[in-house]
Structure 1
Amino acid sequence: MLIRVEIGIDAPGIDALLRRTFGSDAEAQLVHDLREDGLITLGVVATDDEGQVIGYAAFSPVSVEGEELQWVGLAAAGGR
């Protein structure tokens, strides 16, 4: 397993992982939208020996009741 900062070619693997993990399109669409808007502060992937994305964490700024915070989303493939 390798843990590293995400790169552009990881997007399809991240999308597939999020859809499998959460069982819907909502989280995958949210991450896509955050990425398109430049709002992912840091994205980290875990890949297996074949380079497939098996884990993902994304950090994005959020505002809760006017207070600026960092939000992290996390997904991991089952059986890992």
Structure 2
Amino acid sequence: MTPELARATDAVSRLVDELGPAISRDAVVAAVAQACDDLRGSPVGALPELVERLARVRLDPADRRALRPPHPVWASRRPGIPVG
């Protein structure tokens, strides 16, 4: 097991304990995996905390909009390219 995978597994365990039965382990695993993917290229030393924080925000029932795919108009915007 790579150190990165071990840290992600630790984050899953902590989030499952924190969130309890309201969120399935599979949902936590998916959120952590997506956070790892989204944060690729971040400083390695900061990655474990960033992954856990991002996954926690995405799993927060008060912020479910973070789990929805982006609106097509917003997804098509690119920095420096005017929209409209």
TM-score tier by shorter-chain length is 0.3 to 0.5
| Higher CA-based Rg | 2
Q: Which has the higher contact order (CA 8 A, sep 6+)?
A: 1
Greater share of helix residues, 1 or 2?
2
Q: TM-score, normalised by structure 1?
A: 0.40
